[in-house]
A and B are shown apart, each in its own frame.
Chain A
Amino acid sequence: MSDFHELIKNFSKTRGYVRDFFVYGFKTRNEFTEKSPRTYDNERRRLESWLSPYVRRDYTQNGANISLAIDSNLLDTNPLFQVWKTKSFTDNDIMLHFLLLDVLKNSRPLTAEEITDCLLSKYETLFDIQTVRRKCNSYAGEGLLNKSREGKAVVFSLDTTLADWLKANEAVLDACTFYQMAEAFGIIGNYISGQYDYPNRIFRVKHSFFVHTLEDEILLGLLNAMNKKLSVRLEMKSSRRGTINTACCVPLKIFASTRSGRRFLCGYVMKSRRFTCFRLDTIRHIIPEKEAPGYNKLLQMLNRNQCYLWGVSFHSDSGRHLEKLAMTLHVIEPEEDYIIDRLKREGRGGTVTKTGADTYRYETEVFDCNEMLPWIRTFTGRILSLTCTDRLVEQRFYQDLQAMYQMYHIM
Chain B
Amino acid sequence: MELFSEIYNCYYQVMRHLLSSREALTIPDINAQIYKEGFAESLLSIIPKIKNSSWNLFKKDGELYLSRISPSFLMPLSDLEKSYLKALLSDKRIRLFLDTKRLERLNQMLSGVSPLWKPEQFIYYDRFDGGDPFDSIKYQKHFSTLLHAVKKKQYVEIDYTAPNGNRVHHYYIPARLEYSVKNDKFRLLALKQTKDGKMTLETLNVARMDHVCLTEKSLSADIDLNEIIRGSYYKEPATLRIEDRRNALERAMLHFANYEKNTKKIGENTYECLIYYNQNMETELLIEVLSFGPMLTVTGNKQFLEKVKERLKKQKLGMPVGDRVF
Contact = CB atoms under 8 A, between A and B. Distances in A.
Interface centre among A93, A169, A204, A256 (most CB of B within 10 A): A204
Contacts, number: 375
A102 B130 contact: no
A172 B322 contact: no
Contact of A58 (B1, B130, B264): B264
Nearest to B13: A194
Interface in B1-48: 1-13, 15-17, 19, 39-42, 44-45
A127 B120 CA distance: 48
B3 A86 contact: no
Given A52-B39, A381-B314, A71 B258 contact: yes
Contacts of B6: 87-89, 93-94, 97
B76 A202 contact: no
A49 B35 CA distance: 12
Interface in A155-187: 158-167, 169, 171-172, 174-175, 178-179, 181-185, 187
Given A84-B4, A143-B82, A262-B254, A256 B125 contact: yes
A313 B312 CA distance: 29
A9 to B, nearest CB: 9
Interface stretch (B134-142, B191-199, B208-216, B303-311): B303-311
Interface of B: 1-13, 15-17, 19, 39-42, 44-45, 49, 54-57, 68-70, 73-82, 84-85, 87-88, 91, 93-94, 97-99, 102, 105-106, 109-110, 114, 116-117, 120-130, 147, 150-151, 163, 176-182, 189, 226, 229-230, 247, 249-251, 253-255, 257-265, 271, 287-288, 290-294, 297, 305, 308-316, 318-319, 321-324, 326
Given A84-B3, A216-B3, A404-B312, 11 more contacts: A65-B264, A124-B56, A172-B97, A174-B97, A185-B84, A194-B8, A206-B178, A253-B120, A254-B117, A398-B322, A408-B309
A357 interface: no
Contacts of A48: 40
Contact of B75 (A87, A144, A165): A144
B122 A254 contact: yes
A178 B181 contact: no
5 contacts: A89-B6, A94-B57, A211-B254, A346-B128, A401-B315
Interface residues of A, number: 142
A355 interface: no
Contacts of A309: 125
A270 B149 CA distance: 54
A160 B78 CA distance: 11
A374 B129 contact: no
B75 A398 contact: no
Interface stretch (A32-40, A219-227, A317-325): A219-227
B318 A382 contact: yes
A121 interface: no
B77 to A, nearest CB: 5
A58 B271 CA distance: 13
Given A179-B88, A398-B321, A24 B253 contact: yes
B181 A182 contact: yes
A82 B319 contact: no
A206 B81 contact: no
Contacts of B150: 201-202
A179 B94 CA distance: 9
Interface string A327-355: 00010000000100000111010000000
A94 B181 contact: no
A86 B41 CA distance: 12
A45 B178 CA distance: 34
A223 B312 contact: no
A162 B324 CA distance: 67
Given A99-B69, A227-B114, A378 B291 contact: yes
Contacts of A385: 319, 321
Given A105-B70, A182-B181, A400-B294, A217 B3 contact: yes
Contact of A73 (B42, B78, B259): B259
Interface in A65-85: 65, 67, 69-74, 82, 84-85
B178 A203 contact: yes
A87 B258 CA distance: 29
Contacts of B130: 344-345
A123 B262 CA distance: 52
A209 B45 contact: no
A345 B129 contact: yes
Contacts of A23: 253
A107 to B, nearest CB: 12
B148 to A, nearest CB: 10
B69 to A, nearest CB: 4
B284 to A, nearest CB: 10
Contact of B39 (A6, A24, A169, A407): A6
Given A97-B7, A209-B254, A407-B294, A71 B261 contact: yes
Given A144-B78, A220-B3, A171 B290 contact: no
A189 B87 CA distance: 11
Interface centre among B84, B93, B226 (most CB of A within 10 A): B84
Nearest to A277: B125
Nearest to A91: B54
Given A84-B3, A206-B180, A401 B49 contact: no
A278 interface: no
Contact of B315 (A62, A87, A226, A380): A380
A204 B121 contact: no
B229 A172 contact: no
Contacts of A174: 97, 147
A142 interface: yes
Contacts of B321: 385, 398
Given A97-B12, A185-B116, A56 B262 contact: yes
Interface string A261-294: 1100010000000000000000000000000000
Contacts of B322: 398, 401-402, 405
Given A49-B39, A123-B56, A253-B122, A101 B10 contact: no
A101 B236 CA distance: 55
A131 interface: no
Contact of A380 (B105, B250, B311): B311
B73 A102 contact: yes
Contact of B56 (A49, A125, A166, A169): A125
B176 A203 contact: yes
A204 B178 contact: yes
